[in-house]
Chain A
Amino acid sequence: GAGVSQSPSNKVTEKGKDVELRCDPISGHTALYWYRQSLGQGLEFLIYFQGNSAPDKSGLPSDRFSAERTGGSVSTLTIQRTQQEDSAVYLCASSVHRGSEQYFGPGTRLTVT
């Protein structure tokens, strides 16, 4: 079946602009995660959605970052007023439930100039 998909694959934006990154999880997966991968910080957790529960936002680095998950499926990660330190690969993953393996999308490479 179809895996996790993310769009766009690459995004170049100017400092100060807002960006939206999209994630389409595997059908039937109730859990959805966003991670960030950068050279300096490695792989970092950003936010976690589980069904209709309130999301775990403990990894969001600042209030410029937000995410939503509509209808328990597609998720959008929004970064407002982008900064150069936001440049990274943003990875989305989904899983059937907690503790089960997470399946990752191909990521979105964000470059802030």
Chain B
Amino acid sequence: AQTVTQSQPEMSVQEAETVTLSCTYDTSESDYYLFWYKQPPSRQMILVIRQEAYKQQNATENRFSVNFQKAAKSFSLKISDSQLGDAAMYFCAYTGTASKLTFGTGTRLQVTL
């Protein structure tokens, strides 16, 4: 079975600074996708970024980028120029042949002035 591990329950970053959230996963599949989702207090899960395992190039979406290390099974999220609106729970998620998402336990990100 696939597992996703987020080892940082909470992180804090100052506004305008950069923060990196960690995620590791375990799988024996070769074809899979990885995601980062953001969940603010409104509880709406919002897709932040998506990475296909077969692509070596790291995905980027504006201030959000990932460091995908396939051999190490690592998928970290970097948030640049942090904003107050980035404060939320961030979930790393995996999907493979089973189609369902397997989530990590989440990292709560605080953004301070």
Binding site for A on B (CB under 8 A): 33, 35, 37, 42-47, 50, 52, 91, 95, 98-103, 105-106
Contacts and interface: CB of A to CB of B under 8 A. Distances in A.
A61 interface: no
B43 A48 contact: no
Given A43-B91, A91-B45, A104-B44, A31 B99 contact: yes
Given A31-B99, A48-B99, A101 B43 contact: no
Contact of A45 (B47, B52, B101, B105): B101
Interface majority SS on A: helix, strand, loop or mixed?
strand
Nearest to B105: A42
Contacts of A106: 42-44
B43 A102 contact: no
The 8 closest A-B pairs by CB, nearest first: A104-B45, A43-B103, A45-B100, A98-B99, A101-B47, A99-B33, A106-B44, A107-B43
A8 B102 CA distance: 25
Contacts, number: 51
Given A45-B100, A105-B44, 10 more contacts: A31-B99, A33-B100, A33-B101, A35-B101, A45-B101, A48-B99, A104-B37, A106-B43, A106-B44, A109-B43
A56 B98 contact: yes
Given A42-B105, A99-B33, A89 B43 contact: yes
29 contacts: A31-B99, A33-B100, A42-B106, A43-B91, A43-B101, A43-B103, A45-B101, A48-B99, A48-B100, A56-B98, A56-B100, A91-B45, A98-B95, A99-B33, A99-B52, A99-B95, A101-B47, A101-B50, A102-B47, A102-B95, A103-B47, A104-B37, A104-B44, A104-B45, A104-B46, A105-B44, A107-B43, A107-B44, A109-B43
A59 interface: yes
